[in-house]
Amino acid sequence: MMYKKIEDLRRELNEMLDSPNYDNEKLLDKSRELDILIVQMMREKQRAEEEKIIEELENLLDKLEITDMSYQRLRIVDPVHKKVLILKDTDLYDEDVKCFEFWNRGEVCDNCISLRAFNENNAVFKLEYQGNKIYMVTAIPIIIKGKSVVMEFIKNTTDLFYISNGMHGQEEKIYALIDRMNNLQ
């Protein structure tokens, strides 16, 4: 409907310009009217694109419902600014929480996989620990409303993860192994 109005205005403007005695004020008014319609159409198109992105994200999250039992945490992270974000309606908001605060370290992670996922535009995985709990962290880069961010999936694997050092009956300290793996990056 709006597209037809724009085409009608364009046609009318062209006819005015083709006539030898056109009214400048009327031409200017029609030109302004056309500009307003074009801006409205652009806004509607942007809104539709944003709604499509939100719908795609909601579909992704719906598909990930099975992960509710698998993952203890799902969060959106801006790894550049080290912020946890929240999606409300169709906008991203700063949750006023640093992403590394979950790990109770008070500083940026040495091997920040969200930043790696963001920079490499690829999914990245790592093991991490907090106190006596071991977590598997998955970071997947996504785009929400034109903003590149990372979706983090955090799973407590404390009781599910076993590593043996190959020596019969002796288990290697998993925390030291995780530290060595994370320092290899």
Q: pLDDT of 60-74, one tens digit each? A: 666 555 455 577 788
- Determine the Cα–Cα distance for residues 145 and 155; give it in Å rounded to an integer: 27
Q: What is the pLDDT of residue 171?
A: 42
Return the percentage of the chain with pLDDT > 70, whole number: 82
Tell me the pLDDT tens digit for each residue of 9-36: 888 888 888 888 878 888 888 888 888 8
pLDDT higher than 80, residue 89: no
Query: Alpha-carbon distance 185 to 73, whole Å?
Result: 24
The answer on pLDDT for 125 being more than 80 is yes
User: Do the Cβ atoms of 97 and 84 come closer than 8 Å?
Assistant: yes
pLDDT band of residue 98 (cuts 50, 70, 90) is: very high
Q: Tell me, what's the pLDDT at 169?
A: 40
Of residues 60 and 115, more confidence is placed in: 115
The predicted pLDDT at position 164 comes to: 59
Produce one character per residue of 100-113: b if its CB has 16 or more CB atoms within 10 Å, e if not.
Answer: bebbeeeeebeebb
Residue 57: name the closest of 153, 118, 123, 145 by CA.
145
Indicate the average pLDDT of the chain: 80
What is the arithmetic mean of pLDDT over 136-162?
Answer: 85
Q: Are 177 and 168 in contact (CB under 8 A)?
A: no
Residue 124, C-beta contacts closer than 8 angstroms, at least 6 positions apart: 113, 114, 116, 117, 138, 139
- The yes-or-no verdict on residue 136 having pLDDT over 60 is yes
Q: How confident is the model at residue 120 (pLDDT cuts 50, 70, 90)?
A: very high
Separation between Cα atoms, residue 120 and residue 110, nearest integer Å: 17
User: Could you give the CA distance from residue 177 to residue 155 in angstroms, rounded to a whole number?
Assistant: 18
Residue 57 has pLDDT above 80, yes or no: no
pLDDT (0 to 100) of residue 9: 84
Alpha helix (H) residue ranges in the chain:
2-18, 24-63, 113-120, 174-184
The pLDDT of residue 115: 94
pLDDT at res. 53: 74
